[in-house]
């Protein structure tokens, strides 16, 4: 597998992550503070639409597993869905004059459907680009390195783009002369047009630069495929782990926009030359850079310790760091400490992300050896489903908890001490609890480094025999 292919594969998740991080971290804020939905309605919207994902994700996996074209099984969908992906993102951040609730439901469901249509085949492509488990970890690391690079660009640029496109902007000043992000609907829409154009180009490059090298076929009926999947213990455990890791990231990321707008910006006093650092976009984008460091560390750590042990140790670190974050004060020194904690937390989340995708590939190989049929697309569809369910549950939980703590979405509102406490808990204790739960789940995951070495050897022998026959 060439360097060009590794970079090309990375471009795909660079595109997906630019959208996904904006959806996870800024879409709830958009719905409640820009679009005009209540916190409760926005939470219900993001949760209810997941019912469709429970059907569309495995459906897309089944379709992709049975696709045969001159471009392969999974690559064609990168070409087919690249433009719809960009267009749906723009529609999602469009605010109509009337019928807002209906528009929100339709565009959100449409966006998640198209996301499934391109991201499930993209994820499955990993398992047919190489047959080697360690090389899959390398490929996953390229994927996540570029993903975090894309996330950094999107998050770093988002607030400046929104403010740039707001022609009527009047800065809302905080205690240290810090300006909040624009809440102009047109500005948010135009900012998404810029990001969507980049995503379109990146997915087209991913299609052009990658190739499918491993041949695998689904040899059983759709019903049998689903039956085998539901009996797959490692798959169930990995779903739990992936859901937890996505919940951890989404709860912290979703809360950040509110945390800064109503607490940090209005409380922290920073010297003028450092004032630009006090924003949700900077806080999150710094985390994306640290994520990239974690991705680089993931391969050597997993080779030495194994993927399971590396995952558990990283999550244990996140439990401790998240709890300590609660006790950091909203002062100048406290904010510098928050940035330091964000860096370290993000290094560990960066280690975890490529491990999860590589572990899905291991589950697919283990399943093929055990059941005698390749269901790569179906198994990887669960990764997309876990990502979206984690995003939905995390986003909904944040909005419902904010409502329970009395958070006000009225423009210019001064939040109560209880609402501020809720924001601090959502940035610390809640993510810590999720990380602790994920450790318990992965404890029972059976596909260790030694187990997968045997699986890879047996599977390679079987595939060689099938080719010879």
> Residue 72 pairs with which residues in a beta bridge?
69
The phi and psi torsions of 173 (rounded to 5 degrees) equal -90, 140
**CB atoms inside a 10 Å sphere around CB 174:** 22
Placement of tokens 């060439």 in the chain? 2
- In the DSSP assignment, the letter for residue 261 is I
**How far is 179 from 184, CA to CA, in rounded Å?**
14
- For residue 276, what are the domain limits? 3-468
- Among 107, 112, 4, 101, smallest CA distance to 54 is for 112
Spatial neighbors of 27 by CB under 8 A, at least 6 apart, are 92, 395
pTM: 0.75
Spatial neighbors of 181 by CB under 8 A, at least 6 apart, are 159, 162, 163, 257, 261, 279, 280, 281
Supply the pLDDT for residue 177: 42
Spatial neighbors of 201 by CB under 8 A, at least 6 apart, are none
CA 394 to chain centre: 11
Name the region of 169 (left: φ>0; alpha: ψ -120 to 50; beta: rest).
beta
- In the DSSP assignment, the letter for residue 272 is G
Burial grade of 117 (CB within 10 A; 0-12, 13-18, 19 or more) = buried
Supply the pLDDT for residue 353: 86
Q: Quick check: 426 and 255 in contact, CB under 8 A?
A: yes
Helix (H/G/I), strand (E/B), else coil: 72: strand
Supply the pLDDT for residue 380: 76
**How far is 215 from 382, CA to CA, in rounded Å?**
21
Cα torsion for 458, 459, 465, 469, to the nearest 10°?
150
**How far is 170 from 35, CA to CA, in rounded Å?**
18
Domain count, the chain: 1
- In the DSSP assignment, the letter for residue 276 is G
From residue 313, alpha-carbon distances to 59, 245, 303, 346 in Å are 34, 13, 14, 14
Helix (H/G/I), strand (E/B), else coil: 350: helix
DSSP codes, 388-449: HHHHHHHHHHHHHHHHHTT---STTPPPPHHHHHHHHHHTTHHHHHHHHHHHHHHHT----H
From residue 311, alpha-carbon distances to 106, 217, 260, 308, 361 in Å are 37, 31, 30, 5, 16
Structure tokens at 411: 């423009």
Supply the pLDDT for residue 43: 82
- In the DSSP assignment, the letter for residue 211 is -
- How confident is the prediction along the chain (469 residues), in pLDDT tens digits per residue? 789 999 999 999 999 999 988 987 888 889 988 998 888 888 888 778 777 877 788 889 889 888 989 999 999 999 999 999 999 999 999 999 899 999 999 999 999 899 999 999 998 898 889 888 778 878 888 988 899 889 889 988 998 899 899 887 654 444 444 456 788 999 999 999 999 999 999 999 999 999 998 876 666 677 787 788 778 899 899 989 988 998 999 899 989 989 998 899 889 888 888 888 888 888 999 998 999 899 889 989 998 898 999 999 999 999 999 999 999 999 999 999 999 999 999 999 999 988 887 888 888 888 888 877 767 777 777 777 777 777 777 878 898 999 999 998 887 788 999 999 999 999 999 999 999 999 999 999 998 888 888 888 888 887 677 655 5
**How far is 82 from 121, CA to CA, in rounded Å?**
12
Half-sphere exposure of 151 (CA within 13 A, CB side): 29
Question: Residue 226's domain is classified under what CATH number?
Answer: 1.20.1250.20
**How far is 423 from 436, CA to CA, in rounded Å?**
20
- Among 307, 314, 387, smallest CA distance to 346 is for 314
Spatial neighbors of 106 by CB under 8 A, at least 6 apart, are none
């Amino acid at each position: 597998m060439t360097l060009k292919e590794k970079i090309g594969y990375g471009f795909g998740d660079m595109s997906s992550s630019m959208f996904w991080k904006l959806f996870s971290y800024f879409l709830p804020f958009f719905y409640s503070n820009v679009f005009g939905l209540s916190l409760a309605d926005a939470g219900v919207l993001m949760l209810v639409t997941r019912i469709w994902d429970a059907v569309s994700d495995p459906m897309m996996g089944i379709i992709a597993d049975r696709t045969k074209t001159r471009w392969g099984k999974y690559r064609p969908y990168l070409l087919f869905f690249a433009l719809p992906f960009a267009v749906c993102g723009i529609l999602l951040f469009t605010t109509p004059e009337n019928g807002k609730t209906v528009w929100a439901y339709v565009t959100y469901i449409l966006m998640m459907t198209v996301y499934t249509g391109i991201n499930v085949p993209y994820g499955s492509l990993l398992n047919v680009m190489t047959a080697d488990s360690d090389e899959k970890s390398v490929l996953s690391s390229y994927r996540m390195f570029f993903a975090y690079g894309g996330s950094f660009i999107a998050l770093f640029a988002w607030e400046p783009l929104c403010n740039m496109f707001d022609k009527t902007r009047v800065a809302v000043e905080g205690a240290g002369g810090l300006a909040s992000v624009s809440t102009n609907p047109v500005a948010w829409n135009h900012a998404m047009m810029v990001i969507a154009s980049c995503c379109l180009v990146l997915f087209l490059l991913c299609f052009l630069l990658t190739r499918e090298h491993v041949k695998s076929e689904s040899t059983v009926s759709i019903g049998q495929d689903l039956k085998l999947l539901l009996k797959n213990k490692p798959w169930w455990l990995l779903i739990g782990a992936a859901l937890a890791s996505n919940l951890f990231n989404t709860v912290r990321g979703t809360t950040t926009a509110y945390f800064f707008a109503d607490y940090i910006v209005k409380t922290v006093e920073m010297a003028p030359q450092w004032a630009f650092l006090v924003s949700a976009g900077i806080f999150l984008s710094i985390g994306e850079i640290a994520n990239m460091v974690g991705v680089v560390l993931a391969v050597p750590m997993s080779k030495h310790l194994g993927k399971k042990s590396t995952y558990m140790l990283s999550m244990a670190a996140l439990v401790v760091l998240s709890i300590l974050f609660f006790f950091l004060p909203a002062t100048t020194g406290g904010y510098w400490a928050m940035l330091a904690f964000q860096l370290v937390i993000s290094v560990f989340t960066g280690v975890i992300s490529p491990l999860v995708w590589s572990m899905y590939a291991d589950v697919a190989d283990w399943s093929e050896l055990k059941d005698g049929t390749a269901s790569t697309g179906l198994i990887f569809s669960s990764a997309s489903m876990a990502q979206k369910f984690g995003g939905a549950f995390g986003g909904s939980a944040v909005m419902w908890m904010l409502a329970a703590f009395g958070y006000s979405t009225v423009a210019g509102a001064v939040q109560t001490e209880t609402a501020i406490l809720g924001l601090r808990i959502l940035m610390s204790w809640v993510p810590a609890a999720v990380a602790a739960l994920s450790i318990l789940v992965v404890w029972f995951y059976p596909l260790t480094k030694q187990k997968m070495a045997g699986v890879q050897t047996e599977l390679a022998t079987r595939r060689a025999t099938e080719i010879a026959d």
